[in-house]
Structure 1
């Protein structure tokens, strides 16, 4: 018959160490190993995770043989302790606790004191000579059994308890008398009878059976399921159930219960850290019923100083365990050290002291903050407990991100929630935390920021017009938009926190305020946003800023990571300041510099608009001129050809569109050149991939609807004034003629914007298509790149430009653009007298490009996967629409396991990537391949990039350290897998 139940010592002897957690759960494995090591563990047994899964598979029925094995194990425990379960004279009581493979603190259920009845409580009194203790234990059982096993609301028991506590002087549980507790037991049983129309079970075995079922059932309780969803823990693991002899911390003031960590889980300091409660039981320490005391004298003294308590009062009222029970404390210290050495990791310990005797109830790997995780990993290497490889694998990459961004003080955040200052939640678009004055336009944000005032820019949504305000702001909050909206993308690039798509906000730009559920926030009021959680608060919440100079352990850990990784880590950086920050964080190149983002600056945007609006007409006339020149050259004696040439020359010479177009290009050339010089200087000697302009055109232009409204309003005002006989403008007003001139300009702009409107801008005139239609834009950018490279090379800097063509889908497109790039390069280098080595490549961001990678690699020297657009085109969904509407439902119903815009879709997008790498390198073996989409900073996606042989991943500057660690972990996992398969 299947073995469902293991005594603790059997689990240690019979189950291989590598399988214990799978079969016995974390708690059961810890109990087995402590028992095997001879530590003071109350006897008991573990029902396996396999039994839990079989229970659910059988329709919530115990599998065959389980109950019989439970009874057999219970009998052997009885023999060990010399007491019998259900014996009225000498009763054995047990706890029934959950314990999954992965720690899920507080997510599943526990029932204590199982086995107490009206008869056995008398035996407990006879055993202990303490009637108060016995009835305290009995009321706890009825309360926990009623709430956990039977679902009676806990507050109904608490109401009865509070009524009795109110009668005592100290108003605490410990002040209740034996008589009071006996009465409470009767009232609890009456409540149980009233709620369930049945008596509290007086058969100890029935109590045990139902408690085991309740523990199994808690595996699929809502809080457990939500926890597993958040931490991506599989739902098919099941929980083990641990049945253990009760030991009692509530047998007087020589007894206690407590929880401790072998190191400080907040800071990582090597010190015992924890709390205990004298004369208490089980969950009292973590339940917050009473204020717990500190375990060490040092911690107790620090706590007293913080609370203004004198040393004399502390010793009398708040003594540490070290002072109250010095011998037991010393024993616990030795056990803690032994367990940490055994597990080679920080341990989270639960213990009970029964009349001076120490009992260990649990050991498990301790949860810790990001700061503590890094410090503990590094310290343990220096202590010889673990290797550098183990240290690198111990720290979660996302924990690194927490260390490098401002974050709110969690206690202050919790106080803000309690005060009702949590206003709303939006999409956590860019991590970090910020507090500042709410401002509602970019100009104010810039002005206030210049004056040193912290601001949060609040907008319905941002546009390129807002960039100067976004740069000045501490954070960005928008009512609309998704994770790839303008606000989100720019904020991530700037390393600023952003909450977007916060639809609960009702923003009134005219009044400069927003409201949420009737609460109004006006310009100048303080708000706080958490870009890591999407929360928006009223008021100021203190932030904790990272100090990289003080993060010595992090620098050491990342240096170890760099020893193991194969993937290079580059950065997405649009501005020199981004590039410098990326170098500071260890970037080895720039994988994406988006030139259209450089155009978003306020001093450049007018010229960009001028270039775009005049490009169609200017390019048409210049194309006519080129055709006429070719015809005249081919037929020099043909008068018609010569006349057509003169007319084409005159048309170009007199065209306002051509003049405006050329003027815009001339204005943009020096500012782009300066930008590129800054990037080359910051990345001296390292590659810099510059993507040529790739804008959905609407991002640079005034909104058609807004412009139309302005035209209609202006026409109406002109008509109204014309109807007024003898109308004369007041002081400061425009005349009708001036208004008509303004109207003509706006109508011309409206026609131009309308001509460039697209039904689907994301799949319209953008990327390489824009460059082919308007090649002078490509010439401008390539000239700026190579002139910048020549300038910095003369200053002793080594530029390594790589020119990337966006959104290509066919090799012919690249051939056309390659000719233009090479032509401009020859002209610039000849004029400057400087030789520059450069690479020509493309982004793979549409499926056709991936499928035709072998052809494209004939022209492209490198590929860079733009997985944001590649994911949209493979899935045929718009990210902004999907995340705000149906994608959440897809995740909830497990239609997709992860958000494909956050974690790379290996089955679909990943398959295309693998194909493109293989096909591209078949044509060009030395093809350089990387990724520059947002997935380049996601640990799971980085692991896949390692698997398919990419050369580098490129992430935002603030995620470079995350990517360094994730790349190392990918390499170490691969190494471990190879060793395992030998």
Structure 2
């Protein structure tokens, strides 16, 4: 029988070769941090094998699992010197679901498990902070009831508003013990009346119910749909991690935030991130709005805020670098400071864009942390396509008026035109255009060639517009169904916005966005880290690379990107430029050989000049 529970604390952790399978990503990463002797709150993880066992049990958690959870709590009490029954120095737990990959719809984190009518009084006395203790109890009831009983958060908000009006609170929350007790009593009475069940006052029963409800969230509709779409097996299951709460909201010598081992803009080894003062664990997932750049912790800027951040925070940079050295990649950690101690709560490989991914691996190679071949394997080849096309500079607010399908990557800005002929006319004057059609047809190709990008109301990623646009390297958005073209009025209508022929629009073929107006674009270039990565590829490859090109412009671009020659030249596309198409049509429609030869005599020097 696979082990049901694995414990962890700083300096030691029970891990297996399939840690992410049995412990989930959060549980496995906490165990890794602990095994590296990094500061983590002590805790335990109920494994996915326990989930599989419990999923076949009709009546709550199986008794063997309950016994092991109780034993793990006893170990945690001994480790922390606190008591889960709340008699003295109460132990409270944070409980989180932990799946191998992120899955929307799983149970949210429940904090302060173990809080009850007695614990709140004990904690209030221990910390000499009544508001903190009762606030924690209130939030626990709300989170527990939402997960276990599916109570809507709005019901609690309504009760709080009514209590505020009836009791005349001085602020947004109670300020006296009597007001707090009245609000808590109303919450508990509501649960009993609406659910028909008394909310458990026994901490271990609270924990059992939270674990059981977390297990059940694996099969809720949102999670199930996501798993089906991603091909995640039904029996993969999830783990549940519980660890000691960190009291980090009592004063301004506390806080929480996120730290990265590298500056993703440059790829260089430099601690970056953000933090908030006086926040608790929920601040890590973004509830707090007052966030500051993590760099200020190390620039002495905190003195200007009047806050005395604990000195242990200076060790954060060393912890993060140590983790990166072990993992061999840029990492991101969630951290917290409470009771003048630094704790790491979660870790993961740092998320990054395609450009950032290249910068990071190139720097890792320069620093000797990975080999060139490993750098190449860490880059998704499909992501590079986005870097070979113009991209939108997203440093200002964009007016996105519609959304379609990302049919061909890259961004383009230009005047709205509704016909291929008008596109060709304006392009000959040097005016960039976006060809907007309900759908495109072969006779539109000459207009597509001269347009900066193509936008269609109908069609998918395999439609004519999408296939041709990808073939000629033009940004394209298809299936923007909210658009309405009125060719007679020269108008493009979308969700109450009216755009006219000649107005500027921008399309992003990598996201499917349609944006009103002209925006700044960043042009691609085979320079810097991108060029370095391509040099890695040149040294590793065993075959030559040639390009598809039909025009001198395309050939020059291919050469700039390192192509060794032209592998395919589709000459039929050349005849769409200028007046060539007329001669081609004459040749096709000529009634006799004389007419065909006359047309071919016009085409021959034109085609010869393309190659000589």
TM-score after normalising by structure 1:
0.57
- 1:528 pairs, out of 483, 506, 523, with 506
Instruction: Give the equivalent residue in structure 2 for 1:362.
Output: 346
Q: Within 5 Å, give how 1:794-873 maps onto structure 2.
A: none
Change (3 A) 1:567 1:358: same
**Residue in structure 2 matched with residue 850 of structure 1 by the alignment:** none
Q: Secondary structure at the match of 1:84?
A: coil
Deviation at 1:429, TM superposition (A): 1.2
Aligned to 1:915: none
* 484, 507, 524: which one aligns with 1:546: 524
> Which of 306, 320, 324 is matched with 1:340 structurally?
324
Answer yes or no: is 1:325 the counterpart of 2:309. Answer: yes
Q: State the partner residue of 1:580.
A: 556
Q: Which moved more, 1:456-465 or 1:179-188?
A: 179-188
Q: Tell me which of 562, 571, 594 is aligned to 1:595.
A: 571
Determine if contact 1:257/1:352 at 8 Å carries over to the other structure.
Answer: yes
1:381 matched residue in structure 2: 365
Q: How does 1:470-619 map to 2 (within 5 A)?
A: 470-549=448-527, 552-566=528-542, 568-614=544-590
Query: Could you tell me whether the CA contact under 8 Å between 1:435 and 1:456 is conserved in 2?
Result: yes
Contact 1:426-1:499 within 8 A present in 2 as well = yes
8 Å Cα contact 1:465-1:600 kept in structure 2: no
SS in 1 for 2:576: coil
2:609 to 674, 686, 704: 674
- Going from structure 1 to structure 2, the CA distance change for 1:453 and 1:609 (only over 3 Å counts) comes to closer
CA contact (8 A) 1:467 1:601 kept: no
Q: Matches of 1:23 and 1:528 in 2, distance apart?
A: 47
Structure 1 residues 598 and 389, CA gap change in structure 2 (3 angstroms): same
Secondary structure at the counterpart of residue 428 of structure 1? strand
Hey, what's the Cα distance between the residues in 2 that align with 1:334 and 1:168? 46
Shift, 1:244, TM fit? 0.6
CA 1:108/1:368 → structure 2, altered by over 3 Å: closer, same or farther? farther
Conserved? CA contact 2:9–2:41, under 8 Å: no
Q: Structure 1's 527 and 218: CA in aligned 2 closer, same or farther, altered over 3 A?
A: farther
SS of the equivalent of 2:569 reads strand
Unaligned 5+ runs, structure 1: 302-310, 615-655, 678-790, 792-982
What displacement does 1:258 show?
1.7
Q: Which residue of 2 aligns with 1:270?
A: 269
Q: CA deviation at 1:103?
A: 4.9
Deviations 1:619-671 (A, max 9, x none): xxxxxxxxxxxxxxxxxxxxxxxxxxxxxxxxxxxxx4322222233323333
CA displacement at 1:260 relative to structure 2: 1.5
Match of 1:8 in 2: 8
The 2-side partners of 1:572 and 1:235 are apart by 44
Q: 1:503 to 1:213 in 2, by over 3 A?
A: same
Q: Residue 251 of structure 2 aligns with which residue?
A: 252
Q: CA deviation at 1:45?
A: 0.6
Contact in 2 for aligned 1:11/1:29 (Cα 8 Å):
no
Larger mean CA deviation between 60-69 and 492-501 belongs to: 60-69
User: What is the CA–CA distance in structure 1 between the aligned matches of 2:113 and 2:489, rounded to whole Å?
Assistant: 64
Equivalent of 1:353 in 330, 337, 348: 337
Determine the C-alpha separation between the residues in 1 that align with 2:456 and 2:325: 50
Aligned CA-pair RMSD = 3.4
> 1:485: Cα distance to partner?
3.3
CA distance 1:596–1:297, shift in 2 (3 Å): same
Distance of aligned partners of 1:60 and 1:361 in 2 relative to their CA distance in 1, 3 Å threshold: farther
Paired residue secondary structure (1:665):
helix
- Residue pair 2:105, 2:217 contacting (<8 A) in 1 also: no
Is the CA contact 1:481–1:501 (under 8 Å) kept in the aligned structure 2?
yes
Which string of whole-angstrom CA distances, capped at 9 and with x for unpartnered residues, describes residues 115-150 of structure 1? 111121112123222211111211221222233343
Mapped to 1, the partners of 2:566 and 2:164 lie a distance apart of 66
Answer 1 or 2: which has greater strand percent: 2
Cα 1:59–1:513, aligned 2, differ >3 Å: closer, same or farther?
farther
The CA distance in 1 between the partners of 2:310 and 2:9, in whole Å, is: 30
Q: CA deviation at 1:213?
A: 2.6
TM-score (norm 2): 0.88
1:401 CA drift (Å): 2.5
Deviation at 1:411, TM superposition (A): 6.3
CA distance in 1, matches of 2:61, 2:9: 24
Alignment match of 1:393 (pick from 368, 377, 383)? 377
Contact 1:164 1:176 in 2 (8 A): no
Partner of 1:129: 128
CA distance in 1, matches of 2:513, 2:298: 33
Pair 1:660–1:462, CA change in 2 (3 A): farther
1:272 Cα deviation after fit: 1.4
Per-residue Cα deviation, 1:328-350 (whole angstroms, up to 9, x for no partner): 22122221222122222222111
8 Å CA contact 1:12, 1:33 repeated in 2: no
- Classify the secondary structure of the residue corresponding to 1:376: helix
Aligned match of 1:402 in 383, 386, 396? 386
In the alignment, does 2:404 pair up with 1:426?
Answer: yes
Q: Any idea what SS the aligned residue of 1:272 has? A: strand
More RCO (CA 8 Å, sep 6+): 2
CA separation in 2, counterparts of 1:546 and 1:165? 58
- Residues 417-456 of structure 1: pairs in structure 2 closer than 5 A: 421-456=399-434
Residues in 1 aligned to 2:95 and 2:503: alpha-carbon distance in whole angstroms: 52
1:43 maps to what in 2?
42
3-state SS in 2 of match to 1:119:
helix
Deviations 1:743-799 (A, max 9, x none): xxxxxxxxxxxxxxxxxxxxxxxxxxxxxxxxxxxxxxxxxxxxxxxx5xxxxxxxx
User: Helix, strand or coil for the counterpart of 1:352?
Assistant: strand
Cα separation, 2, equivalents of 1:358 and 1:189? 35
Query: Number of residues paired by the alignment?
Result: 609
Matches of 2:13 and 2:212, distance apart in 1: 27
SS in structure 2 at match of 1:201: coil
SS in 2 for 1:97: strand
Residue aligned with 1:297, SS: helix
8 A contact 2:103–2:226 mirrored in 1 = yes
Residue deviations 1:584-633 (CA, integer Å, cap 9, x gap): 2233444433333233335222233333334xxxxxxxxxxxxxxxxxxx
Q: Do residues 100 (structure 1) and 138 (structure 2) align?
A: no
Q: Distance in 2 between matches of 1:278 and 1:165?
A: 28
Partners of 2:47 and 2:61 lie apart in 1 by: 12
User: Equivalences for 1:132-171 in 2 at 5 Å?
Assistant: 132-157=131-156
Is contact 2:477–2:507 with CA below 8 Å preserved after alignment? yes
Q: What corresponds to 2:600 in structure 1? A: 665
Give per-residue Cα distances to partners, 1:836-892, cap 9 Å, x unaligned: xxxxxxxxxxxxxxxxxxxxxxxxxxxxxxxxxxxxxxxxxxxxxxxxxxxxxxxxx
- State the distance in 2 between where 1:22 and 1:455 align: 52
Is the 8 Å Cα contact of residues 476 and 509 (structure 2) preserved in structure 1? yes
1:72-104 Cα offsets, whole Å, 9 max, x none, are: 111111111122222333321111112222356
Shift of 1:400: 2.0
Q: 1:161 to 1:579 in 2, by over 3 A?
A: farther
Aligned to 2:110: 111
Please identify, of 7-16 and 256-265, the stretch whose mean Cα deviation from structure 2 is larger.
7-16
Partner of 1:770: none
In 2 relative to 1, CA 469–189 (structure 1 residues): closer, same or farther, beyond 3 Å?
Answer: farther
Deviations 1:510-531 (A, max 9, x none): 2222223454322133333221
Q: Distance in 1 between matches of 2:471 and 2:603?
A: 22
Q: In 1, Cα distance between the equivalents of 2:571 and 2:298? A: 55
Distance of aligned partners of 1:449 and 1:229 in 2 relative to their CA distance in 1, 3 Å threshold: farther
